[in-house]
Structure 1
């Protein structure tokens, strides 16, 4: 994202660095997910969807999973070490925060979803470091807010499972309810749209990209968020943001139109 927003996507050297950083963080995140699945194994076994995960379903035994986790973590560290030293620091911070999350922080209300959101901020920090791009405060705020919005949507699914089956997927679920999450998601959606509008109208941004028409992309952000709220409140289907993006044609269209319009304004 820093590379895209800086208008340097066509820079082959920076693109290669970004791709390597992407691989490093993907390996690190995968190792963290395996570690978390180990700790959540008891809960995953009774979860309607997570019980089909490789470790919970028995598709991969624990010894092989540990081996895979160590290999992935090693790859993440090795690749980041060979890009730039500061990239390694970001990866290590990510490991520390997520181990703390898996062991304890996921049981602390409000803090649990904020830790998840911060993980995505670390991703864009890594992207900025390996491309030597000055990270705009706008992208940091928008990334954090959107990640927090999606994390709450996932937490909402855990509350629904508890209400429908009486099964507690997380200890922290007692501190959440549907009304609280709905109100918070609506507030976040409004703040995201307002922040994005301010971003598009910022003199700093308009001068940097030499274009005053960025505000036109607000439409796609607004419609995409409204659709996501509809999926959450009406269809009650926000367990997996990735699954939604891969299957919901309307959201796919909004993402495509946003990328297309933003690219046209930024690069042409």
Structure 2
């Protein structure tokens, strides 16, 4: 039980900001996939619409994180890292978090539908998927990770719909496989960090084992590399220079596996990416190389 304590205004303000988890908004960069691969990255109108979609996904993501923290507050208090979150630590009360959610959620949805009807539908589905995950699906083995993967797919689809462009099925497949890779990596980290207390923090973890997750990771890793490679081979463009980006994808996946197995990290993909310099440099090189190939060759 968290003891009552006097919290300053600035501590509260910081708590509300942390409740929205801005560090995790890096996941919403998937919204820009359609913009880049459709060849409109330097088109001001398309860029503005996609950036707006990105911000809307950040708002709805904040709603999801607030909801998760409200639902999981007791479990978070028993977690070695999550116990420092605003609600679990007592900086923000559950009632204050509910009020924040009641204000932010309608605004996010209304703004999404105002920008684009179909984007609004996607963002609504995104929230409902996360709501079902928080209440039900997170207790279903395998489907819990697939639900997380669906969130990444919806980001890519939303980015395509807001600028009305075609998105290659290969991009959707690669996104699905990569997000499954990240999801199973997260589960593995939870098993490793929490050990014998794993199922008390997240009940679904009793359905997983390191051996089972390692098998799943082997499948999605190989599938991701194959899918991305086939995409570069069958690119709509007449050249095959995108094949030059395959080494970056290989290194990125191998580096992430190194982080998972050797450093025993990877529980938070966004923190892993932002804290690992070689991985950040590799992603930047992949982005730059892809843009040069797609736009200047």
Identify which range, 116-125 or 179-188, moves more after superposition: 179-188
- Could you tell me how far apart the structure 2 residues matched to 1:71 and 1:142 are? 35
TM-score (norm 2): 0.86
- Conservation of the 8 A alpha-carbon contact between 2:199 and 2:205: no
Does residue 256 (structure 1) correspond to residue 281 (structure 2)? The answer is no
- Conservation of the 8 A alpha-carbon contact between 2:190 and 2:198: no
2:259 to 231, 235, 258: 231
Alignment of 1:16-55 (within 5 A): 16-55=48-87
Alignment of 1:82-97 (within 5 A): 82-97=114-129
- Could you tell me how far apart the structure 2 residues matched to 1:158 and 1:34 are? 21
Residues 192-249 of structure 1 show CA distances to partners (whole Å, capped at 9, x for unaligned) of: 11111100000xx2xx334321101000000110011111111111111111111111
- The count of corresponding residues between Structure 1 and Structure 2 is 264
Residues 64-96 of structure 1 show CA distances to partners (whole Å, capped at 9, x for unaligned) of: 211221222123212212211111111111122
Which residue is equivalent to 2:19? none
Which residue is equivalent to 1:75? 107
Alignment of 1:182-197 (within 5 A): 182-197=214-229
> Gaps spanning 5+ residues in structure 2: where?
1-32
- Conservation of the 8 A alpha-carbon contact between 2:221 and 2:253: yes
- Conservation of the 8 A alpha-carbon contact between 2:83 and 2:89: yes
- Could you tell me how far apart the structure 2 residues matched to 1:257 and 1:210 are? 23
CA RMSD across the alignment: 1.3
TM-score (norm 1): 0.95
1:110 to 138, 142, 146: 142
Secondary structure in 2 matching 1:82:
helix
> Gaps spanning 5+ residues in structure 1: where?
none
After superposition, the Cα gap between the structure-2 partners of 1:213 and 1:172, relative to the gap in structure 1 and judged at 3 Å, is: same
Secondary structure in 1 matching 2:167:
coil
- Could you tell me how far apart the structure 2 residues matched to 1:166 and 1:217 are? 38
